[in-house]
Chains A and B, each alone.
Chain A
Amino acid sequence: MSDEGTVQLAHGGGGRAMARLIAEVIRPTFDDPELARGHDGALLGIEGPIAFTTDSYVIRPLIFPGGDIGSLAVNGTINDLAMCGARPLYMSVGLILEEGLPLSLLRRVLASMRDAAAACGVRLVTGDTKVVDRGKADGMFINTAGIGAVVAPAPIGPQAVRPDDAVLISGDIGRHGVAVMAARDDLGLEMAIESDCAPLCAPILGLIEAGIGVRCLRDLTRGGLASAVVEIAETAGVSIALEEAAVPIREDVASACELLGIDPLHVANEGRFVAFVAPEDAERAVELMRAHPVSAGAAVIGRVGDAPAGRVSCRGALGVARAIDMLSGEQLPRIC
Chain B
Amino acid sequence: MKFRDEYRDGAAARRLADAIAHTVTRPWTLMEVCGGQTHAIVRFGIDALLPPEITLVHGPGCPVCVTPEAYVDKAIEIADRAGVILCSFGDMLRVPGADGDLLAAKSRGADVRVVYSPLDAVAIARADPARQVVFFAVGFETTAPANAMAAVQARREGLTNFSMLVSHVLVPPAMRAVLEGPGNRVQGFLAAGHVCTIMGLAEYQPIAALYGVPIVATGFEPLDILEGVYLCIRQLEAGRAEVENQYSRAVTTAGNRAAQAVMAEVYRVIPRRWRGLGDIPDSGLGLSGAYADLDAERRFGAVVDGDDAAGECISGLVLRGERKPPECPAFGGRCTPERPLGVTMVSSEGACAAYYRYRGAA
A and B touch in the complex (CB under 8 A): yes
A119 surroundings in chain B (CB, below 8 A): none
Closest approach, in angstroms, between the C-beta of A82 and any C-beta of chain B?
Answer: 31
A222 vs B139: C-alpha distance in the bound complex, in angstroms?
Answer: 30
Contact check: which of B45, B120, B139, B222 meets A335 at CB < 8 Å? B139
A321 vs B42: C-alpha distance in the bound complex, in angstroms?
Answer: 10
Interface size on B, residues (CB 8 A): 43
Question: Is B348 interfacial (CB-CB < 8 Å)?
Answer: yes
Q: Are B93 and A332 in contact (CB under 8 A)?
A: yes
Question: Is A192 interfacial (CB-CB < 8 Å)?
Answer: no
Q: Which residue of B lies closest to A259 (CB)?
A: B116
Q: Which residue of A lies closest to B113 (CB)?
A: A186
Q: Are B358 and A323 in contact (CB under 8 A)?
A: yes
Question: Is B81 interfacial (CB-CB < 8 Å)?
Answer: no
Q: Are B35 and A318 in contact (CB under 8 A)?
A: no
Q: Are A334 and B49 in contact (CB under 8 A)?
A: no
A255 vs B4: C-alpha distance in the bound complex, in angstroms?
Answer: 10
A328 surroundings in chain B (CB, below 8 A): 336-338, 357
Question: Is A272 interfacial (CB-CB < 8 Å)?
Answer: no
A308 surroundings in chain B (CB, below 8 A): 362
Contact check: which of B9, B42, B93, B362 meets A322 at CB < 8 Å? B42
Question: Is A151 interfacial (CB-CB < 8 Å)?
Answer: no
A335 surroundings in chain B (CB, below 8 A): 89-91, 139, 143
Q: Are A322 and B46 in contact (CB under 8 A)?
A: no
Of A308, A318, A322, chain B has the most CB atoms within 10 Å of the CB of A318
Question: Is A320 interfacial (CB-CB < 8 Å)?
Answer: yes
A45 surroundings in chain B (CB, below 8 A): none
B8 surroundings in chain A (CB, below 8 A): 317-318
Contact check: which of A188, A320, A322 meets B49 at CB < 8 Å? A320
B49 surroundings in chain A (CB, below 8 A): 318, 320
Supposing A318-B44, A318-B46, A318-B222 touch, asked if A336 and B349 sit within 8 A by C-beta, the answer is yes
Q: Are A334 and B349 in contact (CB under 8 A)?
A: yes
B64 surroundings in chain A (CB, below 8 A): 336
A251 vs B10: C-alpha distance in the bound complex, in angstroms?
Answer: 19
Q: Which residue of A lies closest to B117 (CB)?
A: A188
Q: Which residue of B lies closest to A317 (CB)?
A: B8
Contact with B along A295-336 (1 / 0, CB 8 A): 000000000000010010000111111110100111011111
Q: Which residue of B lies closest to A262 (CB)?
A: B348
Question: Is A254 interfacial (CB-CB < 8 Å)?
Answer: yes
Closest approach, in angstroms, between the C-beta of A165 and any C-beta of chain B?
Answer: 22
Question: Is B359 interfacial (CB-CB < 8 Å)?
Answer: yes
180-198 of chain A: CB within 8 A of chain B:
186-188
A187 surroundings in chain B (CB, below 8 A): 116
88-103 of chain B: CB within 8 A of chain A:
89-91, 93-94, 103
Closest approach, in angstroms, between the C-beta of A335 and any C-beta of chain B?
Answer: 5
Question: Is B114 interfacial (CB-CB < 8 Å)?
Answer: yes
A316 surroundings in chain B (CB, below 8 A): 43-45
Contact check: which of B42, B63, B357 meets A336 at CB < 8 Å? B63
Q: Are A255 and B1 in contact (CB under 8 A)?
A: yes
Q: Which residue of A lies closest to B355 (CB)?
A: A323
A319 vs B14: C-alpha distance in the bound complex, in angstroms?
Answer: 10
Q: Which residue of B lies closest to A311 (CB)?
A: B360
Supposing A317-B10, A320-B44 touch, asked if A336 and B338 sit within 8 A by C-beta, the answer is no
A188 surroundings in chain B (CB, below 8 A): 116
A329 surroundings in chain B (CB, below 8 A): 94, 103, 337-338
B63 surroundings in chain A (CB, below 8 A): 336
Q: Are B10 and A333 in contact (CB under 8 A)?
A: no
A308 vs B10: C-alpha distance in the bound complex, in angstroms?
Answer: 27
Question: Is A258 interfacial (CB-CB < 8 Å)?
Answer: yes
Supposing A254-B1, A255-B1 touch, asked if A334 and B89 sit within 8 A by C-beta, the answer is yes
Question: Is B13 interfacial (CB-CB < 8 Å)?
Answer: yes
B42 surroundings in chain A (CB, below 8 A): 322
Q: Are B91 and A336 in contact (CB under 8 A)?
A: yes
299-345 of chain B: CB within 8 A of chain A:
336-338
Supposing A316-B43, A336-B36 touch, asked if A258 and B359 sit within 8 A by C-beta, the answer is no
Question: Is A261 interfacial (CB-CB < 8 Å)?
Answer: yes
Q: Are A334 and B338 in contact (CB under 8 A)?
A: no
Question: Is B75 interfacial (CB-CB < 8 Å)?
Answer: no
Closest approach, in angstroms, between the C-beta of A241 and any C-beta of chain B?
Answer: 13
Closest approach, in angstroms, between the C-beta of A320 and any C-beta of chain B?
Answer: 3
Question: Is B267 interfacial (CB-CB < 8 Å)?
Answer: no
Q: Which residue of B lies closest to A187 (CB)?
A: B116
A272 vs B77: C-alpha distance in the bound complex, in angstroms?
Answer: 43
A321 surroundings in chain B (CB, below 8 A): 45
Question: Is B261 interfacial (CB-CB < 8 Å)?
Answer: no
Closest approach, in angstroms, between the C-beta of A144 and any C-beta of chain B?
Answer: 27
Q: Are B359 and A333 in contact (CB under 8 A)?
A: no
A325 vs B360: C-alpha distance in the bound complex, in angstroms?
Answer: 8
Question: Is B258 interfacial (CB-CB < 8 Å)?
Answer: no
Q: Are A322 and B348 in contact (CB under 8 A)?
A: no
A330 surroundings in chain B (CB, below 8 A): 103
Closest approach, in angstroms, between the C-beta of B87 and any C-beta of chain A?
Answer: 11
69-124 of chain B: CB within 8 A of chain A:
89-91, 93-94, 103, 114, 116, 120
Closest approach, in angstroms, between the C-beta of A181 and any C-beta of chain B?
Answer: 11
A330 vs B64: C-alpha distance in the bound complex, in angstroms?
Answer: 17
The 24 listed contacts between A and B (C-beta, < 8 Å) are: A186-B116, A251-B1, A316-B44, A317-B9, A317-B222, A320-B49, A322-B45, A322-B358, A322-B359, A323-B359, A323-B360, A325-B356, A328-B336, A328-B337, A328-B338, A329-B94, A329-B103, A329-B337, A332-B91, A332-B114, A333-B89, A333-B114, A335-B90, A336-B349
Which 4 pairs from chain A and chain B are nearest by CB?
A320-B45, A332-B90, A323-B360, A328-B337
> B residues near A, CB below 8 A?
1, 4, 8-10, 13-14, 35-36, 42-46, 48-49, 62-64, 89-91, 93-94, 103, 114, 116, 120, 139, 143, 222, 336-338, 347-349, 356-360, 362
